[in-house]
Structure 1
Amino acid sequence: MSQDTLFKRQFGHRARLALSPAGVLKTDEQAHAARTVWNLLHAWWQMMPKGKRTLANADAAIRQAHEDIDFLAVLPAQAAQAVLKTYFQAWKNCWDGRADAPNFKSRIRTVMSVDVPQGRDLNIVRVHRRWGMVNIPKVGRVRFRWTKDLPVGKRANAENRITGARLVKDALGWHIAFRVQTLEAKPEPHQGPDVGIDVGIKVPIALSDGETYEHVEWLTDKEKAKLLHLEQRAARRQRHRKPGERISRRLHHTYDQIAGLRAKAKRRTLDWQHQTTTAIARTYGTVVVEALTVTNMVKSAKGTVEEPGRDVAQKSGLNRSISGEAWGRTVIMLTYRTARHGGILHKVPAPNTSRRCSACGFITPGSRESQAVFVCKNPDCGWSGSADWNAARNVLHLYRMGLALIPAVGRAVVRRVKRVKPATAR
């Protein structure tokens, strides 16, 4: 196989670690030390003049902090260097307009994580079908769930290898996210049909060919009742806490139980999204979605003191439903999955896709008789059908009119935005 038909693929794979209580304690200490190094770097950055904010000076400051602060010794030197590089990269992202300026990391709100920048330090071995072993610096050999074939042992080489990993802690415990690099064959252009996608709440994903993808509630009735009970208990204990008083162990335990149930719901959400986006990428060659700005859609309706908002509670419930569906993450998954299968993903303008009739192209008031049904009020048309299907057909039609907004991903070319009047008939 020639080099022209190969491409380098980089992706991540996350697995759950089976740490002992002593291992959990050691990893927690490393994560707190990494957060402290970040905060020390930020304080150093603010004190130093602009001319002395160099990588070499920051490295010297970290080495001095290791000598002065005893508990930083639990953090491996390479992990501290990874914090340094991440901090400088955060400032570059800020200067390029891709992110906000870096700030201090608090103990409560920061995700606990430790970086292992070099893959050779991991020494990964597969024990049997379900488990593997990985070496974590200053922690030791730890088992992890083997759910994906990794390029280790004889299968590892310069092109196919694990380049590093990151340890991340959530409500369900510590996980390891491997950074994998492989050399794979370029996918052939996907010959599947085009499809438009409309995302929603009642129907999470509706396709222009009439297919829909739905899911059940992420938590069972018993789990939802338990979550409500725990939230009420936490609110009751928080109400009786005096100002300035430390949070009790019981309240901490209640918060941990709440976080565990929410993490379980998120894992089920991710599993459904992975399976659904994979099925769509395998079936369709061109996938078209709306260019939604979800952050604007979930803004609060409280307003100001001078101009208070209306229907604040209803808007808050809608915001929770939108955030629970994670539309942005679905689009991200579709983007890289369609590219891997030789397909392409496009975005089109979102305004009026749910209000325009997909049969005649007119926008008439009152066409949305309900949340689920669309009935065209144009006397010459009168088309009726599912509102989600109608929106998905409009999304696909905008793409066929040449209204793709962004550069294509994969095999297609950049399309310019054209101002074209809607077709009067389809």
Structure 2
Amino acid sequence: MSQGTLLKRQFGHRARISLSPAGIRAVDDQAHAARTVWNCLHSWWQMMPKDKRTLANADAAIRQARKEIEFLAVLPAQAAQTVLKTYFQAWKNCWDGRADAPNFKGRFRTVMSVDIPQGRDLQIKRVHRRWGMANIPKVGRVRFRWTKDLPIGKHADTDNRITGARLVKDHLGWHIAFRVMTLESAPKPHEGPEAGIDAGVNLPLALSDGNHQDHGRPAHTKDGKADRDKWLDADEKAKLLRLERRAAQRKAHRKPGERTSRRLHHTYDQIRGLRAKATRRHQDWQHKTTTHIARTYGTVVVEALTITGMVKSAKGTIEEPGKNVSRKSGLNRSISQEAWGRTVAMLTYKTTRYGGTLRKVPAPNTSLRCSACGFITPGSREDQATFVCKNPDCGWSGNADWNASRNILHLYRMGLALIPAAGRAVVRRARRVKPPTAR
């Protein structure tokens, strides 16, 4: 939505909050109550006839449940209303074919979260340079890390304000994600150069101009296996190995049907904490790298990859067993760790914010075609990291990911970019533009 040269922008900002032990228990109870409200709604939906499944009837059922069940009363009424709206929206997404049908939420496999739909309830105030204060309904005033200027006080108005927030818990603690709406000047068209980007395993982001972006973490261990803990240092890897062995030992002593002990749960929490720390480091690198790319280049070209199909198992069936299953499993793990989809999502909104554009081109044969002569010759990718053209008239050699990034940029310049359907942020239906010239 634009008004003259101004552009209304909505984004989220996530910050770590500091809670006392009593505050942690209070927010945990609210999160469990929100999950219970969802499960009660799902049970109510399955029991009621189709003509009775209305928003008004569901609202009445939730209000009655919060009066009769004391455990649900710890959840603020507005947060319960948000759960109700989210549940009905989940069914609409299912009917429109955008998502699967909603289901029950499990205690241990569901992300704990509580929504604060009204921004005025937060009453945010900056304490000093590092910390701010916010009000959480039925919990009180809590501190959060101040890492970004927020529109509060005299800087807040109708067009620049915080519209709400959401409390989210990971294995390193509770965080608050603010929903911010601002009115900013529309960015000028970015006049930077064009760049093709190939996402790889050995080289995370290879750019067509040779300005490759590497996080310095080896993709494989010394024995050639995929390193799933590359974002941890040596001491953290050793600690993780000890915890995994301890968890396996305690699990072996558990009898069939016996409940998991507190010690085993504590060990699992420590393992998840190390995994969460590695994920944060990776996301930090992705944010910094994609911001640098969006500021430097006016047009960024990537492949239209179907990552879910790329990471499918090669196990096969009993009648037709797969080949190199273990090797393919390690490759799948490396692809999942690099999180290519998240990198493209970051580039999508960051290039728009800085006035640039992101384009996608067809992925087939970008890694097999020679970027110098344009021919596809068998045996050019004998080595995973090196491309050697087998064309007798060419013989070009170089990094395989760099070769693919040059092909990606060339496809865009030939007019083979995929055009997204109108009104959709993700390329679902695309048409191929006929190239003006042939190589």
TM-score of the superposed pair, with normalisation by structure 2: 0.93
Superposed displacement of residue 122, structure 1: 0.3
**Do residues 231 (structure 1) and 231 (structure 2) align?**
no
- Measure, in 2, the Cα distance between the counterparts of 1:350 and 1:109: 34
Q: Distance in 1 between matches of 2:431 and 2:21?
A: 57
User: Among residues 319, 340, 352, which one is paired with 1:306 in the alignment?
Assistant: 319
Q: What does residue 52 of structure 1 align with? A: 52
Aligned partners of 1:374 and 1:130: how far apart in 2? Answer: 49
Counterpart contact for 1:335–1:409, Cα < 8 Å: no
* Shift, 1:297, TM fit: 1.2
Corresponding residue for 1:378?
391
Instruction: Write the mapping of 1:190-205 to structure 2, written as runs, cut at 5 A.
Output: 190-205=190-205
The aligned amino acid for 2:312 is K
Closer, same or farther in 2 for the Cα pair 1:340/1:55, shift >3 Å?
A: same
**Cα distance, 1:264 vs structure 2:** 0.3
The residue type paired with residue 397 of structure 1 is H
Shift of 1:224: 1.2
Task: Provide the rounded CA distance (Å) in 2 between the counterparts of 1:93 and 1:359.
Answer: 46
C-alpha deviations, 1:382-415, integer Å up to 9, x for none? 11111111100000111111111133999xxx98
8 Å contact from structure 2 (residues 91, 102) kept in 1: yes
Describe the shift of the 1:408–1:160 C-alpha distance in structure 2 as closer, same or farther (beyond 3 A).
farther
State the 1:193 CA deviation: 0.7
Q: 62-71 or 332-341, which moves further after superposition?
A: 62-71
The alpha-carbon deviation at position 309 of structure 1 amounts to: 2.4
Deviations along 1:289-320, one digit per CA (max 9) or x if unpaired, are 00111111111222223333222222221111
Alignment check: 8 A CA contact 2:414 2:436 kept: no
Instruction: Report the CA distance shift for 1:181/1:325 in structure 2 as closer, same or farther (over 3 A).
Output: same
Q: What is the SS of the residue equivalent to 1:308?
A: coil
Deviations 1:170-196 (A, max 9, x none): 000000000000000000000001110
For structure 1, which segment, 365-374 or 56-65, has the greater mean C-alpha deviation from structure 2 after superposition? Answer: 365-374
Assess if the C-alpha contact under 8 Å between 1:118 and 1:163 holds in 2.
yes
For 2:249 and 2:334, locate their aligned partners in 1 and report how far apart those are by CA, in whole Å.
26
Counterpart-to-counterpart distance in 2, 1:306 and 1:136: 58
Q: Determine the structure 1 residue equivalent to 2:213.
A: 213
Greater displacement, 234-243 / 296-305:
296-305
CA RMSD in angstroms comes to 1.7
Deviation at 1:420, TM superposition (A): 4.8
Name the residue aligned to 1:391: 404
| Cα gap change, 1:227 to 1:17, in 2 (>3 Å) | same
CA contact under 8 A between 1:402 and 1:416: conserved in structure 2? no
- In the alignment, structure 1 residue 316 sits paired with structure 2 residue 325: no
Residue 99, structure 1, aligned to residue 112, structure 2: no
One-letter code of the match for 1:199? A
Q: Deviations over 1:34-71 (max 9, x none)?
A: 00000011111111111111111110110111122110
Distance in 2, Cα, partners of 1:370 & 1:319: 18
Structure-2 change in CA distance of 1:30 and 1:370 (3 Å): same
Equivalences for residues 11-30 of structure 1 within 5 A? 11-30=11-30
* Structure 1 CA distance for aligned equivalents of residues 17 and 317 of structure 2: 47
Q: Quick check: 1:361–1:423 contact (8 Å CA) kept in 2?
A: no
C-alpha distance in structure 2 between counterparts of 1:173 and 1:345, whole Å: 35
Q: Secondary structure at the match of 2:330?
A: helix
Extract unaligned runs of 5+ from structure 2: 218-229, 424-428
The aligned counterpart of 1:114 is 114
**Mapped contact 2:208–2:402 kept (Cα < 8 A):** yes
Q: Which amino acid aligns with 1:364?
A: T
Q: Distance in 2 between matches of 1:266 and 1:360?
A: 40
Asked if the contact 2:189/2:356 (under 8 Å) is kept, the reply is yes
The answer to whether residue 283 in structure 2 is matched with residue 266 in structure 1 is: no
Tell me which of 307, 320, 328 is aligned to 2:341: 328
Q: Write the letter of the residue equivalent to 1:417.
A: R
Deviations 1:338-390 (A, max 9, x none): 00000000111111100000111110000113112111111121111111111
2:149 — aligned with what?
149
**Structure 2 equivalent of residue 35 of structure 1:** 35
- 2:415/2:436 contact within 8 Å kept: no
**Closer, same or farther in 2 for the Cα pair 1:318/1:409, shift >3 Å?**
farther
Residues in 2 aligned to 1:361 and 1:112: alpha-carbon distance in whole angstroms: 51
Return the letter of the residue paired with 1:74.
V
Distance 2:317 2:127 in 1: 60
Work out the CA distance in 1 between the residues paired with 2:164 and 2:214.
36
Q: Determine the C-alpha separation between the residues in 2 that align with 1:208 and 1:283.
A: 13
Counterpart in the other structure of 1:5? 5
Aligned-partner SS, 1:212: coil
* Residue 245 (1) aligns with residue 238 (2): no
Q: Alignment partner of 2:278: what SS?
A: helix
Match of 2:370 among 346, 353, 357: 357
SS at 2:4's partner residue?
Answer: helix
Give, in whole Å, the separation in 2 of the partners of 1:253 and 1:331: 36
Tell me the distance in 1 between the aligned counterparts of 2:196 and 2:128. Answer: 43
> Bigger CA drift: 238-247 or 166-175?
238-247
8 Å CA contact 1:344–1:409 kept in 2: the answer is no
Deviation, 1:422, is 8.8
Aligned CA distance change for structure 1 residues 322 and 421 (closer, same or farther; 3 Å):
farther
Corresponding residue for residue 275 of structure 1: 288
Percent identity of equivalent pairs: 78
Say which is worse superposed, 388-397 or 213-222, in terms of deviation: 213-222
- In the alignment, what sits opposite 2:180? 180
Deviation per residue, 1:214-245 (Å, 9 max, x gap): 11331111111211221121122112211111
The alpha carbon displacement at 1:416 in A equals 4.2
